[in-house]
Amino acid sequence: MVCGKKRNFAPMQFKLDASPQGTAARAGRISTDHGEILTPIFMPVGTCGAVKAVHARELRDDIKAQIILGNTYHLYLRPGTEILRKAGGLHKFEGWERPILTDSGGFQVFSLSDQRKLTDEGAHFRSHIDGSKHLFTPENVVDIQRIIGSDIMMALDECPPGTSERSYARKSLDLTLRWLRRGWDHYKSTEPLYGHYQSFFPIVQGCTFPDLRRESAKFVADLGADGNAIGGLAVGEPAEVMYEMIEVVNEILPADKPRYLMGVGTPANILEAIDRGVDMMDCVMPTRNGRNGMLFTRNGVMNMRNRKWADDFSPLDPESDCFVDQVYSKAYVRHLFAADEILAMQIASIHNLAFYLWLVGEARNHILAGDFPAWKRTMLEKVTTRL
């Protein structure tokens, strides 16, 4: 068991700034010991303690990230809890002074379907690095996240495929709820290690079955945690089904707590989720797609490997104030991708993350202004256009 010195820690706070009529979209603010987060917010993914191809300075100053993610599964395997404890936690280890959220590793275990076994005890799995055997339990993933020192910790859950049959979804949800009760009890019996408060978010599961989602959401809401997450979406089900499940869940999750939609998604997905009352989102898409030459802009999506950009010397996104959009032309970035230069991946990653943070920032501005639905309709047409 990981226990810090018993202290009175001020819990995370969530305040709603606006929730206008005509939409479920909300603008709020989350207060943590590492700073304030204005919502709705997109969180860049730093799986192994780094957002791929992006420096902390760029995340802070150019992308304007307010919170980033780490992953318990990957950090547990490498560099390991001993190194992280000696470093004083992930904030100090990676040089990031703003909030951090850690995923418990449930999705990573889900992706290792041929190398894991799920039991009431927990998730038995083999490392993707060296094949060594490990066990995640609801309790030890809390302990690991205490050592990581994230501001927001996630419960251990199973993430079933979006195409699961009802019988499997039922069995999976029962296991997740049993794990959740144990994880929640262990969280309450342990303390932070590094002098800052850590929240624990339970995760709603239930696949694509509304009654299972409602049951899970009710169980999660009744815990009274600082915030709540919606998991098991964008894993193979149609987008419209995903939106339906968000609506079902958000009818039950408390309005005075932040709602985190895990692993979603495209700019259109993000706008639709915000419109349905989601406050927090994350996804590897901006960096992963960026490294493969796809740039998201205010006017549509560009494939930078296309020949059409070879002699286009205009900025990547003329309206952006991010430095890469002002310094580099489409022609130059297209050349870098054609030449397999690492700089291409860096520029694309910074650009895409800056765009995602701009998008949720603009969504917040229009929620506060009361014209979010009209702005969303205009933006949906733009962000789904292929240039």
Catalytic residue set: 103, 282
d(CA 344, CA 337): 6
Residue 387: what residue type?
L
349, 368 contact by CB (below 8 A): no
Q: List Cβ neighbours of 13 (8 Å cut-off, separation of 6 or more).
A: 30, 31
d(CA 381, CA 383): 6
CA 292 to centroid of chain Cα atoms: 21
d(CA 186, CA 204): 19
The tokens describing 290, both together, are 């960026």
Cα–Cα separations (whole angstroms), residue 192 to 37, 85, 143, 286: 21, 12, 10, 32
Paired strand residues for 133: 126
CA 115 to centroid of chain Cα atoms: 24
